[in-house]
Structure 1
Amino acid sequence: MDTNSWGNHAPERQLPPQQYTPINYLKLFWTIVAAIITAFFIMSIFSWVIFVSVANAVMTDINQHYFSKNVAQPTQVSLQQQSTEITRQLNALAKQNQQAAERASKAAREKEAARRTNMQTCQFWRDQYQKDKSDRSKSFRDSSCARAYAL
Structure 2
Amino acid sequence: MNSLDALRRMVASYPGGRTALAARMGKSDEVLRKELSGASAHHKMGLADAEEIAAMCHEVGSPEAHALGTVFSFKAGMLTLPVIDMAKGRLCLSTTTADAVREAADVLLAVTRSKADGNVSDNDKRDVLREIGEAVVALQAVAVALVAEHAKDNKGRQEQA
The TM-score by the shorter chain falls in which range? under 0.3
TM-score by length of 1: 0.27
Larger of the two Rg values belongs to structure = 1
TM-score by length of 2: 0.26
